[in-house]
């Protein structure tokens, strides 16, 4: 929540646009009906034999054991600045024949295509995907075509992509094929990984040869997934259910697994957040600001973000250590009791992850799982209502999205998720922070961008604005408001005093004027939004402690103003 070095650069991402535009002309075609003689003409289609039969440009490809769609391995290909990580295979085909080309992909931009058809070469693509997604298209070979080249690739400088279970399905071209699948065995290790008042999350072991799984609730199929976990939603609170899972592939469906019982929790308790809310960070350390117990936090704050959770030696996992010594002997039992008291008064208390010196990294599926499990454990131990994401050293949109969705599946609909990105993180929807916010828009509470320690920035009108003005707040908020976030998910983050941040402090009057400009269309500066946003969520400050040091001037002025917004 403190300092950052402003680095603004215009990247060559716009070259993606041409490829995307061209690809949009292609449709995602469903796989055609197979005849008895049709086969998958691709070799090593599931990458079970490493990269045998495949060639990847610039040594960009490798095989990995996780994540996989089917079997035990999948392709991982990582583009570079001048390479798109193209992996290809020459496939024998019959002339004058129709084929369906398909593959399962996830991760960064993923393309699937074929060349050398003798007719029309085709391709299809998908943008970033956090889950396995099937790409499919069809092609016809020419009169003299006996082989084609099928390929996958990503996009220059973008995230790695994964591919698995490639298929060139059609008449046997005579070049050989992978063995036909057999019905997989029943899944083992089925367990309940999380519950909420309306959902039960399940996990199980990978089944060799499976391409998907069916989940049964009380004997009735309720969902189908490609991974080894699922969340069954729409359940009644405080109710027990029996679950089983089967494994599937082209050969059929396995017997059901052993059953497990999952019991939903009681329904959410306590009042919901008010329409307009004030967020304040509470310092779990003494840096010269007023030392507070949680019970001392001013009543104007609706969301109290406890700063901060600590990284552990396990990638992605966090813990919380109350600084009892620094806080004058404040005990864990007192802290937990104060959380319950604040909640009884209608407040939400969440744990913040990150800060200027935060070292938590979530950059793969394992660390995403560790993050979700550890945060949920803290929620259950201390009673936190949710989590705040304040990672100021970068985040991975794909895996942070995965982590927060996993946490949501465990905690349920009452989960509070807030974010505190720096101004540079929200300049464009292509930035990882902005992508993450949009990816979880259905479960996101509020993004309180830090309008401080940033220097000059672009507003939504393309003009440059400097810190310290109404225009800086409103023109930068406009980017979020017009970039896909709901007004109720946008808050203005400001220091509580000149000591709260190195730069960017503005008087509470400026904060209130910006709120009025955005919500009512009044008290604007030279920039005036094209419309008003009466559902604007409110404001945030660093910190309740610095606010107390300054005589609570910030919360006494901004708090009532936020709560009086239309």
Calpha distance 176→198 (Å, rounded): 49
Dihedral, CA atoms, 405, 314, 69, 90, nearest 10 degrees?
130
CB 450 within 8 A of CB 438: no
pLDDT of the residue at 414: 87
Task: Tell me the residue length of the chain.
Answer: 566
Residues paired with 494 in a beta bridge? 541
Domains in the chain, please, with CATH?
18-171 (2.60.120.260), 191-263 (2.60.40.10), 277-563 (3.20.20.80)
Active site (catalytic) residues: 392
Map residue 53 onto helix, strand or coil: coil
pTM of the predicted model as reported, rounded to 2 decimal places: 0.57
Q: What is the pLDDT of residues 373-430, one digit of tens each?
A: 999 999 988 999 999 999 877 789 999 999 999 999 888 888 999 999 999 999 999 9
Calpha distance 62→442 (Å, rounded): 35
User: In this structure, how many other beta carbons lie within 10 angstroms of the beta carbon of residue 363?
Assistant: 15
pLDDT band at 267 (very low <50, low <70, confident <90, very high): low
H-run or E-run covering 194 = strand 191-195
The answer for residues whose C-beta is within 8 angstroms of residue 283's C-beta and 6 or more apart is 289, 292, 307, 543, 544, 545
pLDDT of the residue at 33: 40
The answer for residues whose C-beta is within 8 angstroms of residue 337's C-beta and 6 or more apart is none
Q: Cis ω on the peptide bond leading into residue 309 (within 30° of 0)? A: no
Measuring CA to CA, which residue among 392, 399, 372, 410 is closest to residue 307?
A: 392
Mean pLDDT of the region 178-195: 86
Residues paired with 448 in a beta bridge? 491
Q: What is the pLDDT of residues 503-549, one digit of tens each?
A: 889 999 999 999 999 999 999 999 999 999 999 999 999 999 999 99
pLDDT band at 183 (very low <50, low <70, confident <90, very high): confident
Rg of the chain in Å (alpha carbons) = 27
CB 513 within 8 A of CB 472: no
Calpha distance 76→56 (Å, rounded): 10
pLDDT of the residue at 389: 96
Greater pLDDT, 201 or 250: 201
Measuring CA to CA, which residue among 200, 201, 219 is closest to residue 264?
A: 200
Calpha distance 152→110 (Å, rounded): 7
pLDDT of the residue at 130: 85
Calpha distance 120→139 (Å, rounded): 7
The answer for residues whose C-beta is within 8 angstroms of residue 111's C-beta and 6 or more apart is 23, 84, 123, 124, 125, 151, 152, 153, 154, 155
What percent of the chain has a predicted confidence (pLDDT) above 70?
91
Mean pLDDT of the region 367-371: 95
CB 437 within 8 A of CB 447: yes
Map residue 24 onto helix, strand or coil: helix
Measuring CA to CA, which residue among 277, 345, 283 is closest to residue 559?
A: 277
What 8-state DSSP symbol labels residue 425? G
Map residue 50 onto helix, strand or coil: coil
Please name the residue that has the structure tokens 């790409």.
Answer: 135
Residue-by-residue DSSP string for 464-503: EE-TTSHHHHHHHHHHHHHTT--GGGEEEEEESSTTSSSS
Mean pLDDT of the region 472-479: 97
The answer for residues whose C-beta is within 8 angstroms of residue 138's C-beta and 6 or more apart is 29, 32, 98, 99, 100, 101, 122
Q: What is the pLDDT of residues 32-63, one digit of tens each?
A: 344 446 889 999 999 988 999 999 999 999 99
Q: What is the pLDDT of residues 148-174, one digit of tens each?
A: 999 999 999 899 999 999 999 999 999
User: In this structure, how many other beta carbons lie within 10 angstroms of the beta carbon of residue 484?
Assistant: 12
pLDDT for residue 30 is more than 70: no
Greater pLDDT, 347 or 236: 347
pLDDT for residue 553 is more than 60: yes
pLDDT band at 23 (very low <50, low <70, confident <90, very high): very low
């Amino acid at each position: 929540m403190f300092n950052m070095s402003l680095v603004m650069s215009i990247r060559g991402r716009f070259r993606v646009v041409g490829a995307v535009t061209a690809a949009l002309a292609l449709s995602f075609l469903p796989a055609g009906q197979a005849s008895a003689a049709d086969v998958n003409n691709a070799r090593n289609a599931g990458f079970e034999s490493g990269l045998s039969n495949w060639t990847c440009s610039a040594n960009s490809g490798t095989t990995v054991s996780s994540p996989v769609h089917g079997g035990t391995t999948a392709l991982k290909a990582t583009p570079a600045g001048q390479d798109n990580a193209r992996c290809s295979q020459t496939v024998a085909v019959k002339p004058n024949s129709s084929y369906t080309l398909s593959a399962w992909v996830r991760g960064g931009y993923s393309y699937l295509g074929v060349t050398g058809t003798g007719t029309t070469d085709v391709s299809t693509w998908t943008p970033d995907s956090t889950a396995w997604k099937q790409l499919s298209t069809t092609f016809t070979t020419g009169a003299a075509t006996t082989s084609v080249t099928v390929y996958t690739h990503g996009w220059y400088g973008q995230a790695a992509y994964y591919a698995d279970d490639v298929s060139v399905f059609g008449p046997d071209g005579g070049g050989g094929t992978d063995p036909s699948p057999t019905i997989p065995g029943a899944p083992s290790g089925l367990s309940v990984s999380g519950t909420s008042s309306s959902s039960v999350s399940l996990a199980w072991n990978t089944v060799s040869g499976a391409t998907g799984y069916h989940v049964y609730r009380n004997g009735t199929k309720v969902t189908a997934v490609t991974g080894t976990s699922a969340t069954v939603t729409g359940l009644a609170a405080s109710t027990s259910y029996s679950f089983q899972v089967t494994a599937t592939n082209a050969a059929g469906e396995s017997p059901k697994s052993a059953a497990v019982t999952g019991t939903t929790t009681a329904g959410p308790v306590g009042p919901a957040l008010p329409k307009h809310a004030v967020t304040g960070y509470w310092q779990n350390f003494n840096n010269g600001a007023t030392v507070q117990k949680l019970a001392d936090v001013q009543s104007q704050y609706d969301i109290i973000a406890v700063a901060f959770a600590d990284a552990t030696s396990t990638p992605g996992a966090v813990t919380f250590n109350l600084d009892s010594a620094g806080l004058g002997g404040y005990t864990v039992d007192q802290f937990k009791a104060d959380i319950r008291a604040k909640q009884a008064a209608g407040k939400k208390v969440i744990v913040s992850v990150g800060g200027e010196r935060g070292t938590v990294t979530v950059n793969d599926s394992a660390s995403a799982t560790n993050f979700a499990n550890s945060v949920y454990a803290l929620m259950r131990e201390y009673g936190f209502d949710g989590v705040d994401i304040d990672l100021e050293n970068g985040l991975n949109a794909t895996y942070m999205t995965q982590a927060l969705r996993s946490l949501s599946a465990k905690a349920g609909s009452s989960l509070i998720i807030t974010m505190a990105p720096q101004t540079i993180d929200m300049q464009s929807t292509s930035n990882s922070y902005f992508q993450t916010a949009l990816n979880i828009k259905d479960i996101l509470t509020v993004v309180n961008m830090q309008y401080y320690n940033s220097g000059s920035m672009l507003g939504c009108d393309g003009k440059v604005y400097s810190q310290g003005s109404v225009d800086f707040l409103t023109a930068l908020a406009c980017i979020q408001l017009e970039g896909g976030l709901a007004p109720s998910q946008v808050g203005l983050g400001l220091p509580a005093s000149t000591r709260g941040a190195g730069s960017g402090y503005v008087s509470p009057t400026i904060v209130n004027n910006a709120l009025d400009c955005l919500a009512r269309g009044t008290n604007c500066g030279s920039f005036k939004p094209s419309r008003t946003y009466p559902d604007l969520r409110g404001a945030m400050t660093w910190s309740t402690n610095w606010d107390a040091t300054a005589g609570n001037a910030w919360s006494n002025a901004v708090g009532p103003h936020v709560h009086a917004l239309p």
